[in-house]
Amino acid sequence: MEPVASKPSLPKVSVAIPLYNAAPYIEDCLNSVVSQETQYSFEIVVSDDASTDGSFEIVESFCASYPGLISIFRHNNNLGMVKNVAWLALQCRGDYVVPLDADDRMMPGRIQVLIDFLEREPDCVMAFHELRAFDSVSGKTKYYFHRNYYNHSKIPSRSSIEHLVRYGNYFLPSSIAYRRSSIPANGFYTQVKLVEDLARNIQIAACGYIGRIDQVLGEYRIHPDSATQRTRRSVERRLQVLNDQLRSIELAAEYGVSSHVISFGKANAYLAAAMFLLRAGEYSYFRDVLERGVGSVGFCGAKHRLLYCLRRFPFVARKWFFLYE
């Protein structure tokens, strides 16, 4: 498969955008990239996963306006998000890969700050920055992702593969940059259905430490059609996310992570899923997930133990949860 347009010389940075039916947002996304001011040469690589809403044609028009800057690949058959993201990474040519979801935006200076950081820190394989989550309709800030992450206090400025395994993703794809050399020869892990980023991040973090940049350099769009919002509306999707997380955590054993850390990470994933189900009022699923998790890998802390003790009294548990969340 050949790209519609490509840049002949090798860039320093590849901005990687997976695309599927994002027509209302992709122009905004691309504008935020082409307006970046940076000393580093970069390319924009877009992988369109058989969109049906005109997304591909919007990117094509950008290719004409910015010749040589954008490479867009179009799949005739839908691969699904997991395989599309993994395939896209292998098409990048830069020393550094900067992912960006098609409905999100870069803020000015994102590329410059991220690559400056990685250039200064040769042992850092991936860096992430703070991300502003905003309402797509009103434009108002809803929260900041990292500082509002529920395990924020447990994540140091230099974190490792073990932090990812223990606490899950404490950053989003649109807030990271990583070294292309960390991509496995056969590509990123794809034996999951909905959530590919935890496995990918574990594979990257096996090659070095993860650096944190507290500056807000990106914007995460909240809208009803996003994968996150669809998961929040669906118990079935949330349970599949849990299964994907468990498989991703198990992958860490291949990179030397101890069984103790892996068990803790699984317990934490079960706890997070149970808390979601409790909040949603899905009490039978809440109890089932708690019992499966404890029976499989045990507890990850006092809060987990207390929630388990209250599993037969979900109304009490929900009151406690909202009181101490």
The pLDDT of residue 324: 52
Confidence band, pLDDT 50/70/90 cuts, at residue 229:
confident
The pLDDT of residue 323: 65
Tens digits of residue pLDDT in 143-176 = 999 988 878 889 999 999 999 999 999 999 999 9
The pLDDT of residue 5: 46
The pLDDT of residue 10: 92
Mean residue pLDDT of the chain comes to 94
Please name which of 203, 193, 168 lies closest in space to residue 89, comparing C-alpha atoms: 203
Is the full-model pTM beyond 0.75?
Answer: yes
The secondary structure of the chain, three-state, reads CCCCCCCCCCCCEEEEEEECCCCCCHHHHHHHHHCCCCCCCEEEEEEECCCCCCHHHHHHHHHHHCCCCEEEEECCCCCCHHHHHHHHHHHCCCCEEEECCCCCEECCCHHHHHHHHHHHCCCEEEEEEEEEEEECCCCCEEEECCCCCCCHHHCCCEECHHHHHHHCCCCCHHHEEEEHHHCCCCCCCCCCCCCCHHHHHHHHHCCCEEEEEEEEEEEEEECCCCHHHHHHCCHHHHHHHHHHHHHHHHHHHHHCCCHHHHHHHHHHHHHHHHHHHHHCCCHHHHHHHHHHHHHHHCCCCHHHHHHHHCCCCHHHHHHHHHHHC
Look at residue 178 and tell me whether its pLDDT is greater than 80.
yes
More confident residue, 221 or 226: 221
Structure tokens at 35: 């307006």
Nearest-angstrom CA–CA distance, 97 and 200: 13
Domains and CATH numbers, the chain: 13-226 (3.90.550.10), 229-324 (no CATH)
Please give the average per-residue pLDDT across 304-321, as a whole number. 92
The pLDDT of residue 192: 98
Tens digits of residue pLDDT in 93-150 = 999 999 999 999 999 999 999 999 999 999 999 999 999 999 999 999 999 999 888 7
The pLDDT of residue 150: 79
